[in-house]
Chain A
Amino acid sequence: MSSTTKTARIGEELWKTRVDKVNAELVTLTYGTIVAQLCQDYDGDYTEVNKQLDKMGYNIGLRLIEDFLARSNVGRCANFRETADMVAKVGFKMFLNISPTVTNWTSDNNQFSLIFEENPLADFVELPDDGRSQDELWFSNILCGVLRGALEMVQMQIDAHFVSDILRGDDTTEMRVSLVRYIEDEMPPDEE
């Protein structure tokens, strides 16, 4: 059994046994209303909306990792490839009940893509037909922030951004994730 399948099993099992559930549509619509509110508040400045979503996600990620570790009880990943599987098959499974595909690795094993077959955040969604939103808004951008925040708490500085989205008329929804560096344990600032 490949390690990916093993990880996927862990995710399935956790979803079935360790996760408190709620109606999916409530989550979907709540997220929709957040994005709609941002678009209104920032007057259709989608670049700023993307940034705000990323920031919200980052705040979530910082706290979500606790929940993830407490429930999953998984150990440290040996390398970035393992991390990718863990994120896709356990993390996304636990919180969104999806398992995006991990693919398009660079040869140095520092960059991969997540392909989302399903995206519950974007159910019921059509972007506004204003000639700009499909070029500028990344509707699910909060997920990039979540990943960045969560991985930072386990000492990985990463960059995550969407490169395509079905809502924009692309054929796939793809997020690109790159490892920037492992964060070394830093000594607390010297008293003197």
Chain B
Amino acid sequence: MAHPRHGSMLSFGGGPNNTTPSEKPLFQNAPISTASQSSPGLRVPSNRKTIYDRHLNRSRNAELSRASFAFLFSEMVTYAQRRVTGIQDLERRLNEQGYPLGLRLLDLLFYRTIAGSSSSSSASALSTSSTTSSPPNRPLRILPLLHLIHGPLWRLLFNRPADALEHSVSPDTPNEYMITDNDPMVNTYISVPREMSMLNCAAFVAGIIEGVCDGCGFEAKVSAHNQPSEMWPGRTVFLLRFGESVMEREVVLEKAGVK
């Protein structure tokens, strides 16, 4: 099965591919499609305040106002809404916006969990959740990957782990897993109009998860669904559906005793 998006990530600069963003948080990559033949190189400030001169952990525990996030996110949703045909299309677009974040956060997570394994809380969480001891490796099996998302990723983004992790009970869909967030931070200030009640703007977060999965080599489709409960009206379930190739590999790895 093809990995269209992951493929484009691996071949940055290889052409006008779909999801090649033009600016690169975390890592710089090749330019967007145009005029790469005579690239003159970027100018840098003489005081060398470039991303290469700053420590990647500098912003690790930094905080910003939640209102700022809410304002930006609402502009993102409003902007996306202007260019779509329906709810599904809107969610697809939000998903696409989250996807590149996932790819980058993945590298950041590994970098941090390995570099600071003695002091960081996320590192200890990772080593307790995966079966191997530190330094943590890239997950090879689905379960460690899910723990990585449920714990360290969620903590990095929202300062707390997700609320539940479940495997589909249906024998027809062994490739489906669910991660639950009782009260997604991204939806805090969003009120969805009644006629769009299906919409869940946490599709953006679903995109982040999808990016993390793809970046790890686990091809997956991730979507966000409203599952309100009495206590948690905003409860959201992220449904992860892994591709056939991933499931086949799981079987092989299980036989080989890889954890």
Q: Interface size of A by Cβ–Cβ distance < 8 Å?
A: 53
On whether the beta carbons of A67 and B32 are closer than 8 Å, the reply is no
Residue A37 is within 8 A (CB to CB) of chain B in the complex: yes
**Residue A27 contacts which of B26, B69, B158 (CB distance < 8 angstroms)?**
B69
Rounded to whole angstroms, the CA-CA distance of A56 and B68 in the bound complex is 13
| With contact pairs A27-B72, A166-B49 given, residues A44 and B22 touching in the complex (Cβ less than 8 Å) | yes
Across-interface contacts of A36 in B (CB, < 8 A):
21-23, 100
**Residue B47 contacts which of A39, A60, A95, A171 (CB distance < 8 angstroms)?**
A171
- Which A143-185 residues have a C-beta within 8 angstroms of B? 166, 168-171
Residue A139 is within 8 A (CB to CB) of chain B in the complex: yes
State which of A3-11, A104-112, A122-130 sits at the interface with chain B. A122-130
Closest B residue to A60 by beta carbon equals B71
On whether the beta carbons of A21 and B22 are closer than 8 Å, the reply is no
Across-interface contacts of B158 in A (CB, < 8 A):
22-23, 26
Binding site for B on A (CB under 8 A): 19-37, 39-41, 44, 52, 56, 59-60, 63-64, 67, 94-97, 120, 123-134, 139, 166, 168-171
Task: Please count the residue pairs between chain A and chain B whose beta carbons lie under 8 angstroms apart in the complex.
Answer: 180
Specify which of A39, A41, A126 lies most central, judged by the most chain B CB atoms within 10 Å of its CB. Answer: A126
On whether the beta carbons of A24 and B59 are closer than 8 Å, the reply is yes
Interchain nearest-CB distance for A50 vs B (Å): 13
Per-position 1/0 for B58-94, Cβ under 8 A of A? 1110111111110111011011000100000000000
| With contact pairs A25-B156, A44-B32 given, residues A124 and B25 touching in the complex (Cβ less than 8 Å) | yes
On whether the beta carbons of B63 and A126 are closer than 8 Å, the reply is no
Residue B46 is within 8 A (CB to CB) of chain A in the complex: yes
